[in-house]
Amino acid sequence: MFAAWAVDDLYYLADIDLTYFTGGWRTTGFHPNVIDLTHTRWATGSAMTALDLVAAAIGALHMSPKANGEAYDLGSFGKGDKPPCPGCTAWIASVRSEFGWLTEIRNSLVHQTVNRGLFGGTDDPDDIRPNRTEILLPNGSKNPVRKVIENCRALAYRHVSGFFQAVIDGTA
C-alpha cells in the first residue's frame, strides 16, 4: 500500500510542477532553480522509496528476518542473498537493470553536489518553462527536471504495479 502511495506522490508532484511552471511561480517568491532542485529530490526520493518498499515486502514475505531487525531494501539482495521466489528475483533484476540513472541523480543530490546547468531566463515573464534546470549525469547526458520527474514516475509505476500484478498472479 505505501509503495502505491509513493507512486501517487509522483503523480501529485508532476501536477504541482506543471502548475508551478505554467504561471504559479510568480506567486511563490521562490527562485525557479530552487523549485527544480526540490522537485528533483522529491521525485528521485519518492521513486526510490517506492522500489525499496516493494523490496521490503519481498524480504518480509520470502526472507529470514535480518539479525539487526532492519527491513530489506534493494541493496539487501546481493549475489548470495536472493529470495527463493523466482518472480521476486526477476522483479529485483528488472529494477536493477534500469534504475542506474535514478540512483546517480538521487545520490548526487543527497550525498554530494549534483552537476547541473542553470538558466537565467529572459526578460519575458512568461518564458520560464523552457529555462528549466538540467541535471548533468556523469555519462554526459542532460536531463531537464521535468523529464526526470516523468521518468521517476514511469519507473516507479511500472515496477510497483508489476509487483502487485505478480502477487495477484501468484508469482511473487
Task: Show Cβ contacts of residue 24 under 8 Å, excluding neighbours closer than 6 positions.
Answer: none
In a domain, 119, yes or no: yes
CB atoms within 10 A of CB 153: 22
The cell for 131 is: 529555462
**pLDDT above 90: residue 160:** yes
Helical axes 145-169 vs 86-98, angle rounded to 10°: 170
DSSP-derived secondary structure letter, 71: P
**pLDDT above 50: residue 123:** no
Closest CA to 16 of 159, 136, 144, 145: 145
How many domains are contained in the chain? 1
At 115, the pLDDT band (50, 70, 90 cuts) reads low
In a domain, 74, yes or no: no
**pLDDT above 60: residue 63:** yes
Instruction: Give 24-49 pLDDT, tens digit per residue.
Output: 767 777 878 888 889 999 999 999 99
In a domain, 72, yes or no: no
- Mapped onto helix, strand or coil, the DSSP state of residue 68 is coil
Beta strands 142-144 and 116-117 are unpaired
Of the two residues 31 and 100, the one the predictor is more confident about is 100
pTM: 0.87
**pLDDT above 70: residue 133:** yes
**What is the average pLDDT across 8-33?**
85
> Domain span at residue 145?
2-58+86-169
